[in-house]
């Protein structure tokens, strides 16, 4: 593996990603061959905001590999919230354990944590920024349900502007050949330009449509996400529009017989409960693929990296990141590290926020 | 086993119950023979209300069988409370784990959960309704301490009207031969009619008395429970009456030498601390029997049931259960399922509430 | 071992302490030889106040010995806080598990717990009173980093009046030959007289100084602790004085090349972040030694003690301890036990508070 830590799924080469997907499959087929491969290893799940689902998935994955788990799920009640720096917590926990999964409301936290950890770090969600194991879950599901990762027409429905899982899935699926994306949202909630740029420079194409019904007949995959009420410009617009983006039995009448419906969960009401009984609904089995995906990732990381002392990082620029939700806004000692883009733009290496200079 | 899930202890036949009691004994005698029998299996403890004692008993039981545990104890701080349906949570957790113990403040929750779980479900308490592993604990204790489950005079003291553990113990002990129940409470807090009906149609008899002292000399077993202050009609009545139902050293002077004192714990002040040092006090060792009881139950369920997809359940009637604490009042998608009794009565299959039509 | 429970590090003889330190070293050198020695054993971590760091250290220690862990970290959300006595909780948990680590805000709680536990009890911190596994951590660190436990000049800096870790470290290091203590604090925050008495009657000597810079050149070990803002008589004094007790790179210019810097963590700002990159900073590796120290302690206790029923303890005097933070002020049923000192002084055996009669 080129990277000790998995902050972004892009930290994996396409070959490494493919190997992990195949390993997930192999574990799913022969779980007992893997039930002891992490015996004696400890995973820390450091959840600075609650996410019961994700935490249970990580824990189950480690336990099914024969390892064990420590951590916290609620820093409000823990001494971790009482003034200790992220750096100190990570340094200590990285000394206790063999691998860390961290979730935090601030963008760039997993990157910051990785700079101080002897043990490899997995990003289990950093604010609205990245959530690579969700995307790994999605591609393991697609590979299993479709047999490959190319030549698909993939509908993505809901809040495509703010949905990090959507952005990440598009980025990853763009590495594979000949995928078509159908982007289903209101104009206000369409994908950001930088995601369109990625699709444009890849081997894939995309179209934008404004209703689920319109897209349905051509889809091989439908990736549903939630649209939050607050995203609409008014309550009236929400009431008028929301049905357009809700999946129900009626809309499925026009779908292909081998459509696969995915959802990162939890869902609220964007998929009607009646759809659960349709054999094309794959969003629950998707969580089981997610467990195998995390098993494969944890095993691969533990096999490839020994504990080693982190290398000190220094400021690259004397600039503060302007993103108020960047981890650097909370943890002041963090070195200021940026990537230069063009002449006057700096990209923060934690949160990937753009800073004009 | 006739039932994949244990919602009510009545889900077990008397023979199955006897087998589990005997297995609990066997595990207690030879714990090391069982220390690995659930290696690789995972128990989920889904506690939608805190019950540290019960949760620790389940966890210890699974760990002592060589298995492992995931779960939550405080949904207030977890994403589970943020709008996800019980159905979705159970579907996912049932996919991750091998067996589920669920506790919830609403009546009928364990039944509802079992309808969506691939893994077997154990009811760890659903509101004021049922708590079968407490009753299993009680009968394992009685079998060990008395050598059999029949021919006993069993005093039950405290709030017999509202105490689910009392109702459940009477129901279960009524299946065995020649037990006599002595019901010790105020008239206002005596057992409900349907429990009297059960005793009347069984091989057992009962008497009702209004003080502990009066019953003491004839008892083989004394099952103490708490009377909550709120249950009395006035503060004065509470102060006047409460001593009558408190067990202390003085009242024990008139008890048999081989009396066994049980209590589901936690106790408040209905048993004086001085009684703890009397060799007839069995309420602490009872919790250890509870651990073996849960070990036997978990092992038996895992041995008898493979993971399988739940069968969809449909409405039996177009009626809403009138019990405001029924799980169907919170989770609207649940099918409306009732059992008809007589001409105009429906029993809700979740909470067993009676509905007139 | 002379004592079944470790309430105070003084419960160990110097030989027993030395054996545990050596075992910690041996485990550190050959961890795989110890990865299964507690298979099947269960540690309960009963944390009545949050201390994520300490709890994670105990959990990791038990898991790395092949054992498993149950417990709670937040009694606010648990039924344990709902009126159950410490005695009842400990009696039950001592029946479920093989060893208990307890932390509680009241002084003397671990002692009280040990009186009702079948399983051995480790004090993981009882209010401002004792925290023996922190001191064990400190001495394991010193032994490893220095090669012995005598002949050192040890600086202790910060709030020496209230710091239980400082008092405990001085007490323990006074048992070894020829240590010199340099006490670095404001006059108001200097060590209490009874600690000076201990040093005076030992083989060790001490001096008191009022600035870190002054002491630096002669130190072999520097034990840093936090000074809380509230401890200063005024905000102005705090601002004026605090820098004197902050360790930074500049002050280290005058230190020995083989100085070892320790800190019980968490630190706030009494050690500047820049010091972390100095090879003399040992406060992070100290937490790893702490894990090995707890592994050695747990293994030794489990090897030496079988589960046995606690012996009932009776009042020694008819007196209430006057310390409002003593556990006896919360748990009224606890026997009143005191040690007589001189003619008119009683020392509470729980909190070690002095009571005049």
Q: Is A83 helix (H, G, I), strand (E, B) or coil?
A: coil
**Could you say which of A32, A51, A288 has the minimum Cβ distance to residue B95?**
A288
Nearest-CA distance B311 → chain A (Å): 10
Domain ranges of chain A: 9-127+288-303, 139-280, 314-357
Q: Do C74 and A74 touch (CB under 8 A)?
A: yes
- What are the chain C neighbours of B277 within 8 Å (beta carbons)? 312
- What are the chain C neighbours of A78 within 8 Å (beta carbons)? 50, 52, 73-74
Cα separation, A17 vs A6, whole angstroms: 11
Q: Pick the closest to residue B96 from B302, B313, B331, B307 (CA basis).
A: B307
Look-up: residue for tokens 């029998």?
B37
Tell me whether residue A45 is exposed, middle or buried, using C-beta atoms within 10 angstroms of its C-beta: 0 to 12, 13 to 18, 19 or more: buried
Q: Pick the closest to residue A335 from A353, A356, A354, A350 (CA basis).
A: A350
Q: Do A50 and B77 touch (CB under 8 A)?
A: yes
Residues 6+ apart with CB under 8 A from C297: C6, C20, C122, C133, C136
Q: Is B325 left (phi over 0), alpha (psi -120 to 50) or beta?
A: alpha
Phi, psi (degrees; rounded to nearest 5) at B266: -70, 150
Q: Do B285 and C95 touch (CB under 8 A)?
A: yes
Strand A42-47 with B221-224, pairing = unpaired
Nearest-CA distance A297 → chain C (Å): 22
Nearest-CA distance B317 → chain A (Å): 19
- What are the chain B neighbours of A68 within 8 Å (beta carbons)? 68
Q: Give the helix/strand (H/E) hosting B153.
A: strand B153-157
Q: Which residue of A has its CA nearest to C50?
A: A78
Nearest-CA distance B285 → chain C (Å): 8
Cα separation, A211 vs A244, whole angstroms: 6
Q: Do C97 and B50 touch (CB under 8 A)?
A: no
The order of strands in the sheet holding C221-224 is: C205-209, C180-184, C153-157, C221-224, C260-262
Neighbours of chain B (3+ CB pairs under 8 A): A, C
Give the per-residue pLDDT at A343.
80
Interface A-C, measured as beta-carbon pairs within 8 A, has a size of 67
Q: Is B85 left (phi over 0), alpha (psi -120 to 50) or beta?
A: beta
Would an 8 Å CB–CB cutoff place A269 in contact with chain B?
A: no
For residue A78, pLDDT over 90 is answered with no
- 8 A C-beta contact, residue B319 and residue B346: yes
Give the per-residue pLDDT at B117.
97
- What are the chain A neighbours of C60 within 8 Å (beta carbons)? 42, 70, 96-97
- ipTM comes to 0.95
DSSP state at residue A37: T
- 8 A C-beta contact, residue B261 and residue B281: yes
- What are the chain C neighbours of A71 within 8 Å (beta carbons)? 56
Nearest-CA distance B236 → chain C (Å): 23
CA distances from C330 to A126, A311, C107, C357 (A): 43, 50, 10, 22
Domain made up of A9-127+288-303: CATH architecture: 3-Layer(aba) Sandwich (3.40)
Instruction: Dihedral sign for Cα C12, C16, C21, C23, please.
Output: negative
Give the per-residue pLDDT at C79.
59
- What are the chain A neighbours of C285 within 8 Å (beta carbons)? 95
- Looking at the DSSP assignment, which residues form a beta bridge with residue A99? A43
Cα separation, C99 vs C109, whole angstroms: 16
Would an 8 Å CB–CB cutoff place C308 in contact with chain A?
A: no
Instruction: Dihedral sign for Cα C65, C46, C165, C167, please.
Output: negative
In a 13 Å sphere around the CA of A119, the CA atoms on its Cβ side amount to 24
User: Stretch A231-238: mean pLDDT, rounded?
Assistant: 80
Q: Which residue of A has its CA nearest to B75?
A: A52
Strand B153-157 with B121-126, pairing = unpaired
CA distances from C289 to A233, B267, B271, C136 (A): 57, 42, 46, 9
Would an 8 Å CB–CB cutoff place A306 in contact with chain C?
A: no
In order, the DSSP letters of C20-69 are HHHHHHHHHH-GGGGTTTTTT-EEEEEESS--HHHHHHHHHHHHHTT-EE
CATH fold of the domain at A139-280: Rossmann fold (3.40.50)
Q: Pick the closest to residue B122 from B44, B231, B25 (CA basis).
A: B44
Residues 6+ apart with CB under 8 A from B22: none
**Could you say which of A40, A74, A93 has the minimum Cβ distance to residue C56?**
A93
- What are the chain B neighbours of C79 within 8 Å (beta carbons)? 50-53, 266
Q: Do C64 and A312 touch (CB under 8 A)?
A: no
Cα separation, A243 vs B326, whole angstroms: 30
Tokens of C223: 């034990």
Would an 8 Å CB–CB cutoff place C313 in contact with chain B?
A: no
Q: Do C265 and A88 touch (CB under 8 A)?
A: yes
Give the per-residue pLDDT at C264.
95
Alpha-carbon C95 to chain mean position: 26
Nearest-CA distance C336 → chain A (Å): 33
For residue A82, pLDDT over 70 is answered with no
For residue A109, pLDDT over 70 is answered with yes
DSSP state at residue B246: -
Mean confidence (pLDDT) of chain A = 94
Q: Pick the residue with more confidence: B71 or C229? A: B71
Q: Do B273 and C97 touch (CB under 8 A)?
A: no
Would an 8 Å CB–CB cutoff place B303 in contact with chain A?
A: no
- What are the chain A neighbours of B44 within 8 Å (beta carbons)? 56
Look-up: residue for tokens 């999605």?
A138
Low-confidence ranges of chain C (pLDDT < 50): none
Give the per-residue pLDDT at A305.
86
Q: Is A311 helix (H, G, I), strand (E, B) or coil?
A: coil
- 8 A C-beta contact, residue C98 and residue C72: no
Instruction: Dihedral sign for Cα A245, A250, A253, A259, please.
Output: positive
pLDDT digits (tens, 9 = 90+) for A190-226: 999 999 999 999 989 999 999 999 999 999 999 999 8
Cα separation, C338 vs C327, whole angstroms: 14
Strand C180-184 with C205-209, pairing = parallel
CA distances from C206 to B145, B238, C151, C155, C168 (A): 62, 63, 13, 10, 15
Confidence of residue A8 (pLDDT cuts 50, 70, 90): very high
The order of strands in the sheet holding B345-348 is: B338-341, B345-348, B354-356
Least confident of A126-130, B294-298, B341-345: B341-345
User: Stretch B311-330: mean pLDDT, rounded?
Assistant: 96
Do C9-127+288-303 and C139-280 agree at the fold level? yes
Least confident of A170-179, A229-238, A267-276, C22-31: A229-238
Tokens of A79: 């001494």
Residues 6+ apart with CB under 8 A from B297: B6, B20, B122, B133, B136
Give the per-residue pLDDT at A306.
80
Tokens of A9: 């799924």
Interface B-C, measured as beta-carbon pairs within 8 A, has a size of 67
Give the per-residue pLDDT at C188.
87
Tell me whether residue B97 is exposed, middle or buried, using C-beta atoms within 10 angstroms of its C-beta: 0 to 12, 13 to 18, 19 or more: buried
Mean confidence (pLDDT) of chain B = 94
Please calculate the CA angle A146-A147-A153 and round it to the nearest 5 degrees: 40
C277: number of Cβ within 10 Å: 9
Q: Do C79 and B51 touch (CB under 8 A)?
A: yes
Give the per-residue pLDDT at A123.
98
Give the per-residue pLDDT at A202.
94
User: Stretch B21-36: mean pLDDT, rounded?
Assistant: 97
Q: Is C345 helix (H, G, I), strand (E, B) or coil?
A: strand
Would an 8 Å CB–CB cutoff place C105 in contact with chain A?
A: no
Nearest-CA distance B237 → chain C (Å): 23
Interface probe with A: pick from C61, C63, C265, C271, most Cβ of A within 10 Å: C63
Cα separation, A149 vs A135, whole angstroms: 13
Give the per-residue pLDDT at B307.
84
Q: Pick the residue with more confidence: A139 or C51? A: A139
pLDDT digits (tens, 9 = 90+) for C91-114: 999 999 999 999 999 999 999 999
Nearest-CA distance A145 → chain B (Å): 17
- 8 A C-beta contact, residue C294 and residue A101: no
Q: Pick the closest to residue C155 from C254, C12, C293, C20 (CA basis).
A: C254
Give the per-residue pLDDT at A77.
57
Residues 6+ apart with CB under 8 A from A297: A6, A20, A122, A133, A136
Give the per-residue pLDDT at B81.
56
For residue A34, pLDDT over 60 is answered with yes
Give the per-residue pLDDT at B269.
87
- 8 A C-beta contact, residue B57 and residue B287: yes
3-state helix vs strand vs coil in chain C, percent to 5: 40, 20, 40
Q: Do B83 and A266 touch (CB under 8 A)?
A: yes
- What are the chain C neighbours of B60 within 8 Å (beta carbons)? 42, 70, 96-97
Nearest-CA distance B291 → chain C (Å): 7
pLDDT digits (tens, 9 = 90+) for B167-200: 999 999 999 999 999 999 999 899 999 999 999 9
Give the per-residue pLDDT at B121.
98
Q: For the packed helices C283-304 and C14-29, what is the interaxial angle rounded to 10 degrees?
A: 110
Q: Which residue of B has its CA nearest to A57?
A: B96
pTM metric for this prediction? 0.96
**Could you say which of A78, A83, A95 has the minimum Cβ distance to residue C73?**
A78
In order, the DSSP letters of B256-309 are -TT-EEE--S---SSB-GGGGGSTTB-TTHHHHHHHHHHHHHHHHHHHH----P
Confidence of residue A79 (pLDDT cuts 50, 70, 90): low
Interface probe with C: pick from B75, B266, B270, most Cβ of C within 10 Å: B266
Cα separation, C173 vs C166, whole angstroms: 11
């Amino acid at each position: 593996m080129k990277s000790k830590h998995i902050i972004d799924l892009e930290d994996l080469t396409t070959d490494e990603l493919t190997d992990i997907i195949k390993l997930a499959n192999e574990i799913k087929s022969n779980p007992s061959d893997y039930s002891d491969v992490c015996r004696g290893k400890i995973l820390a799940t450091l959840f600075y905001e609650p996410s019961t689902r994700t935490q249970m998935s990580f824990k189950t994955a480690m336990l099914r590999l024969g390892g064990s788990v420590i951590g916290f799920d609620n820093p409000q009640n823990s001494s971790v919230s009482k003034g200790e720096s992220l750096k100190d917590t990570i340094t200590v926990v990285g000394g206790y354990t063999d691998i860390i999964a961290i979730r935090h409301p601030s963008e760039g936290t997993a990157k910051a944590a990785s700079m101080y950890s002897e043990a490899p770090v997995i990003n289990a969600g950093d604010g609205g920024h990245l959530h690579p194991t969700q995307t790994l879950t999605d591609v393991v599901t697609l590979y299993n349900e479709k047999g490959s990762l190319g030549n698909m027409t993939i509908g993505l429905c809901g809040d495509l502007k703010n949905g990090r899982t959507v952005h990440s899935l598009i980025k990853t699926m763009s590495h594979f050949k000949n995928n078509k994306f159908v982007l289903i949202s209101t104009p206000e909630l369409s994908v950001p330009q930088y995601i369109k740029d990625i699709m444009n420079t890849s081997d894939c194409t995309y179209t934008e449509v404004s209703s689920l019904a319109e897209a349905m007949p051509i889809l091989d995959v439908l990736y549903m996400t939630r649209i939050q009420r607050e995203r609409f410009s008014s309550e009236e617009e929400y009431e008028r529009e929301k049905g357009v983006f809700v999946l129900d039995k009626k809309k499925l009448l026009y779908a292909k017989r081998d459509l696969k419906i995915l959802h990162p969960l939890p869902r609220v009401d964007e998929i009607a409960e009646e759809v659960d009984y349709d054999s094309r609904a794959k969003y629950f089995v998707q969580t089981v693929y997610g467990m195998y995906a995390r098993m494969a990732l944890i095993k691969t990381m533990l096999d490839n990296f020994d504990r080693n002392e982190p290398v000190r990082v220094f400021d690259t620029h004397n600039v503060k990141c302007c993103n108020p939700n960047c981890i650097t806004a909370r943890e002041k000692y963090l070195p200021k590290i940026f990537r230069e883009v063009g002449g006057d733009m700096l990209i923060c290496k934690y949160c990937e926020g753009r800073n004009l200079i």
